[in-house]
Amino acid sequence: MTALSFDRFTLDMRRGACPALSAPMMTGDGLLVRVSLVDAISPLQLAELCRLARRHGNGILDISTRGNLQIRGLTETSAPQLEAGIRALSLPLREGLAVETPPLAGMDSHELADPRPIAEAIRKGAREISGLAPKMSVVIDGGGQLRLSSLLADIRLVAVGTDAGIRWTLLLGGTEATGRVFDVLRETEAVYIVMALLKRLAALGERARGKDLATSSPSSSPSLTEGAAAPSSPFSLIALWNGFHAVGIGPAFGQATAADLIALCDEASRLGIRSVKPALDHSLFFFGAKAACEALAAFAENSGFIVSPADPRSHVAVCPGRPACQSASFVTHDVATAAAAECAGLFDGSFRLHVSGCAKGCAHPQPAALSLTGTAAGLSFIADGKAADRPFASVTFADTNAALRRIADLVRAERQGDENSAACLARLGPERLSAAVTSGRP
Q: Are 91 and 43 a contacting pair, CB within 8 Å?
A: no
299-358: contacts with ligand SF4 (CB under 6 A): 319-321, 325, 327-328, 356-358
Which helix or strand (DSSP H or E) is residue 69 part of? strand 69-74
What is the smallest separation between the CB atom of 50 and ligand SF4, expressed in angstroms? 22
Question: Closest CB to ligand SF4 among 145 and 332?
Answer: 332
Distance of alpha carbon 327 from alpha carbon 309, whole angstroms: 30
HSE toward the beta carbon, residue 170, CA cutoff 13 A? 27
Taking CB atoms, the residue at the shortest distance from ligand SF4 is 357
- Site membership for ligand SF4, residue 63 (CB under 6 A): no
- Site membership for ligand SF4, residue 361 (CB under 6 A): yes
β-pairing, 255-257 vs 60-63, is antiparallel
What is the smallest separation between the CB atom of 25 and ligand SF4, expressed in angstroms? 11
Question: Closest CB to ligand SF4 among 26 and 89?
Answer: 26
DSSP 3-state of 391: coil
| Residues in Cβ contact with 64 at an 8 Å cutoff, skipping those fewer than 6 apart | 34, 70, 254, 282
118-147: contacts with ligand SF4 (CB under 6 A): none
Question: Closest CB to ligand SF4 among 356 and 421?
Answer: 356
DSSP 3-state of 389: coil
Distance of alpha carbon 357 from alpha carbon 363, whole angstroms: 9
Question: Closest CB to ligand SF4 among 171 and 353?
Answer: 353
- Site membership for ligand SF4, residue 360 (CB under 6 A): yes
Distance of alpha carbon 354 from alpha carbon 372, whole angstroms: 6
Question: Closest CB to ligand SF4 among 209 and 322?
Answer: 322
Total residues in contact with ligand SF4, by rule CB under 6 A: 12
Distance of alpha carbon 146 from alpha carbon 348, whole angstroms: 19
Q: Are 369 and 384 a contacting pair, CB within 8 Å?
A: yes
What is the smallest separation between the CB atom of 356 and ligand SF4, expressed in angstroms? 5
DSSP of 71-121, one letter per residue? EEEE-TTHHHHHHHHHHHTT--B--SSEEE--TTTTT-TT-SS--HHHHHH
Question: Closest CB to ligand SF4 among 358 and 408?
Answer: 358
What is the smallest separation between the CB atom of 380 and ligand SF4, expressed in angstroms? 13
Question: Closest CB to ligand SF4 among 36 and 371?
Answer: 371
What is the smallest separation between the CB atom of 208 and ligand SF4, expressed in angstroms? 23
Distance of alpha carbon 307 from alpha carbon 237, whole angstroms: 9
What is the smallest separation between the CB atom of 3 and ligand SF4, expressed in angstroms? 33
Residue of 104, 139, 157, 362 interacting with ligand SF4 (CB under 6 A): 362
Question: Closest CB to ligand SF4 among 17 and 121?
Answer: 17
What is the smallest separation between the CB atom of 81 and ligand SF4, expressed in angstroms? 26
In the complex, the residues that contact ligand SF4 under the rule CB under 6 A are: 319-321, 325, 327-328, 356-358, 360-362
